[in-house]
Chains A and B, each alone.
Chain A
Amino acid sequence: MAETNTVQHPILWIHGEALGPANPVLLAHPDRPAVFVFDDELINGAGLSLKRLGFLYECLLELPVTLRRGAVAAEVLGFARRHQADGVVTSAAVDPRFVAICAAISAELPLVVLPLEPFVALEAGDLKRFSRYWRRAEPLVWDQFSPPEPGPNS
């Protein structure tokens, strides 16, 4: 993956794991063209119902983003060419499809992947059962909680 400062005129690839205005990509580059691609292979392969597509569409209408459909990497690269971009910026995702799409994009253009704020900053460890994960994670989450100071009448 490319470093952030190697890309001066990127386009932004918005994907289905970050459809909010707090997407770090939109915050970092508010003036750059952004695109979302409805992934035909995923939609047809999984047999997604109209409800799911409608929900995504409504989320997207609130964001400054061009909407496309088709093969994701090809559409993102086509969008980049139309805007004479020198790179692509996106946000991290968990879906394994993301890795393959990123590989196809970065074969042609520098790709910067911005991290999302984690729920808990936890190093990799035992995930065999939730209880083992939670034993390590729970104290870290609650470290961030400070009960309100009691008021004068309480």
Chain B
Amino acid sequence: MQSGDSLPEPTKELSWPSDPDDLPRRLAGRAELQTTLQQLFANASGELSPIVGGWAAAQKQLAALDPGAYGRSRNHLGGAVTRLSPYIRHGVLGLAAVRDAVLARITRRLEGEKLINELGWRDYWQRLWQQLGDSIWEDQEPLKTGHPAASYAAELPADIAAAQTGLACMDAFIDELVSTGWLHNHARMWLASYVVHWRRVRWQAGARWFLQHLLDGDPASNNLSWQWVASSFSHKPYVFNRANLERFGAGVHCEGCAAARRCPFEASYEALEQRLFAMPPSPRRR
């Protein structure tokens, strides 16, 4: 749901008196909202997202839901993904309501299985957060990369934050993250893998960065997914290669990429794993 300058119409006047320190509810448009927020929250960087918040916007997005198309195409950057995550994250739409919308829209179970499964992931992360609390910021298991945790940089490198890595794909993902506050899940995984494994940065630095920008930024889904990529919440680290990115990214990034001839992702998975990780030798047989 994206739009120009219009703001949600306040549903009704408040039926109780206001206080001089209340924040304003009457704003002429998105431009005024942005100016107001810049004054109120001077430390908050950037501008408004083109993605509009609110129930009305969520309803329009929900009306466009196509569970079958989602199941067939969701891994592709141009696929029929729902873009409901910001509304679900902030409870504009409850997960149960989205579940009901999916079940009401399909005629066969197979049509809805992938999407229901993804809603299940959201529920799973929330249950884990309830159980783990703030320890979702800590490694759930040792890394399986062969590198000591201390060898990963604590801070996000400046060229990554500024979308100036010189890699067309990564810079495009970073631009989209920072300007819109939304990224396709596959792009999140590629970017996270690049940050943690190619640049050897602690996943916590990347997770904090995503939470600053993602409109659906949820510490549970976000951090535990970063841990899944890093291998502290999975059996092995997640890596991708150029062929995978070209296949699911519609090949749009590599054409014209200044680094295409020395692409760090151009290799087989075996070669990349050898290059990126220091796997401990297999346990000796007794």
Contact = CB atoms under 8 A, between A and B. Distances in A.
Given A50-B41, A56-B90, A83-B16, A69 B23 contact: yes
Nearest to B90: A19
Contacts of A16: 90-91
Interface in B191-243: 208, 211-215, 217, 219-220
B262 interface: no
Contact of A17 (B25, B90, B107, B120): B90
B119 interface: yes
B95 interface: yes
Nearest to A57: B33
B154 to A, nearest CB: 15
Given A18-B91, A22-B94, A127-B127, A68 B23 contact: yes
A1 interface: no
B147 to A, nearest CB: 23
B86 A137 contact: no
Given A67-B23, A133-B124, A54 B37 contact: yes
A44 B43 contact: yes
A44 to B, nearest CB: 6
A58 interface: yes
B164 interface: no
B129 interface: yes
A118 B122 CA distance: 12
B82 interface: no
B221 to A, nearest CB: 11
A144 B103 contact: yes
A120 interface: yes
Nearest to B130: A94
Contacts of B19: 66, 82
B23 A50 contact: no
Contacts of A145: 103, 106, 109, 112
Nearest to B11: A62
Contact of B44 (A49, A58, A83, A117): A49
Contacts of A147: 107-109
A119 B16 contact: no
Interface in A8-50: 16-23, 31, 33, 38, 43-44, 46-50
Given A52-B214, A62-B55, A127-B124, 14 more contacts: A17-B90, A19-B53, A43-B44, A49-B45, A56-B53, A57-B53, A58-B54, A62-B11, A64-B12, A64-B14, A66-B16, A118-B123, A141-B120, A147-B107
Q: Top 6 closest A-B pairs, CB basis?
A: A58-B53, A18-B91, A67-B23, A55-B53, A117-B96, A51-B49
Interface of A: 16-23, 31, 33, 38, 43-44, 46-59, 61-69, 82-83, 91, 94-96, 116-120, 124, 127, 130, 133-134, 137-138, 141-142, 144-145, 147-148
